[in-house]
Amino acid sequence: MIRVNEHYAKLQSSYLFSEIAKRVKTYQAEHPAKKVIRLGIGDVTEPLPAACIAALHTAVDEMAARASFRGYGPEQGYDFLRQAIAQNDYQARGAQIDADEVFVSDGSKCDTANIQELFADKVTIAIPDPVYPVYVDTNVMAGRTGKAGKGRYKGLVYLDSTIENGFVPALPEQPVDLIYLCFPNNPTGATATREQLAAWVRYAQANKALILFDAAYEAFIRDPALPHSIYEIEGARDVAIEFRSFSKTAGFTGTRCAFTVVPKSVMAYTKKGEAVALHPLWNRRHTTKFNGVSYPIQRAAEAVYSPEGKAQTCALVDFYLGNAALIRSTLADLGFAMTGGENSPYIWVNVGKDSWKFFDKLLKRAQVVTTPGAGFGRCGQGFIRISAFNSRENVEEAMQRLRKVLK
């Protein structure tokens, strides 16, 4: 008898985005003439930088000629891209990361989902609330949690991100083994200072714990005092794995390229307490289960680091940050408190008691779609997330509507 993985039955249905879609659909059916503006999505809207498109075309032409054709590439990524990443994203910022510590992949979603395979069944996991749902759900699937009750799974240690702590959670009171962190944060838009990250690194060192650091929104950091990578913190090479993606940096959500950094010095431990390096384990997993990102896409990603590519991706991110500034100033004028929108494409707005009620009000009276914070975790109740990923025209129109409805 083939038995099913019953841990899947514990998963709470991904209520958030399906419920939003349902409410928008119902509203549109009743009001077909109204133009709905979507500021709820976490997807980019602007085309790829010209440097990436040019590199992509050239690489496609290479595939058309026998002399330059390429078949299977190295699963970990081509050296040209791993070198460009190590030099530009790390060494240029004083972080000691070598090219062979970079694993190129087709997404940070997959990497943050798959990394948990390297750890034992019975580890204590700390997860922020509110949070990007992938970290929790993949550990539920793997059987590392109990059942859910009142929106929280038994066995997980939730790290509350609240107004009081500026949406940067405090260190846990009980010992934990695995810690998920994401800065600049989705959904709160909060950033972590050097001192705050250093405290987490010290915690991990003292507890032989591991930090999984999701830096998908690193490119949105404009404050020169904020760290872009956890490896800018002394000692992080021994206790942290970092995830990065070209999705939000350069508009690659439909193109697919990302990478994970596993330093050779980062360790996990056997039952007896012997240290085991994670780099060879991840290398083994990656080469066994993944075929590498296609050659033309890796050339497009490499172009992000050319002088033109750097200028173009910076302009692209600046464009979204311009939208974010518009959203921030409108909401500030209307008297709302918020975080994010500076160094982040997300604005996390304090709307009072009920996220869904506020969501409905904006949908029905302003035809603007946002994301109710309650969908990201218990601590998200009373907040909505507004995304800066849209055209300037749409953001301007949405803000005019909010000014009318919320004044």
Ligand X SMILES: *Cc1c(COP(=O)(O)O)cnc(C)c1O
Whichever of 245 and 355 has its CB closer to ligand X, that residue is 245
Whichever of 177 and 218 has its CB closer to ligand X, that residue is 218
Asked whether the beta carbons of 233 and 227 are under 8 A apart, the reply is yes
Please state the closest distance from residue 108 (CB atom) to ligand X, in A.
4
Please state the closest distance from residue 366 (CB atom) to ligand X, in A.
25
Rounded CA separation 359/39 (Å): 11
Nearest alpha carbon to residue 348 among 163, 132, 221, 169: 163
DSSP-assigned letter for residue 274: -
Nearest alpha carbon to residue 229 among 334, 50, 88: 88
Question: What is the separation, in whole angstroms, between the first and last Cα of the chain?
Answer: 63
Rounded CA separation 94/71 (Å): 35
Rounded CA separation 100/237 (Å): 14
User: Which residue number places its CB atom closest to ligand X?
Assistant: 107
Please state the closest distance from residue 33 (CB atom) to ligand X, in A.
33
Please state the closest distance from residue 110 (CB atom) to ligand X, in A.
6
Asked whether the beta carbons of 133 and 187 are under 8 A apart, the reply is no
Q: How many CB atoms lie within 10 A of CB 300?
A: 30
Q: Which residues bind ligand X (CB under 6 A)?
A: 42, 107-109, 132, 182, 186, 214, 216, 245, 247-248, 253, 258
Do the strands 275-277 and 125-129 form a parallel or antiparallel pair, or are they unpaired?
unpaired
Nearest alpha carbon to residue 273 among 101, 114, 120, 115: 120
Nearest alpha carbon to residue 379 among 399, 362, 355, 401: 355
Please state the closest distance from residue 88 (CB atom) to ligand X, in A.
18
Side-chain-side CA neighbours of residue 130 (13 Å) = 26
Whichever of 253 and 294 has its CB closer to ligand X, that residue is 253
Whichever of 132 and 295 has its CB closer to ligand X, that residue is 132
Whichever of 247 and 390 has its CB closer to ligand X, that residue is 247
Whichever of 228 and 248 has its CB closer to ligand X, that residue is 248
Question: Which residues are 348's β-sheet partners?
Answer: 339, 385
Please state the closest distance from residue 139 (CB atom) to ligand X, in A.
15
Please state the closest distance from residue 182 (CB atom) to ligand X, in A.
5
Whichever of 258 and 338 has its CB closer to ligand X, that residue is 258
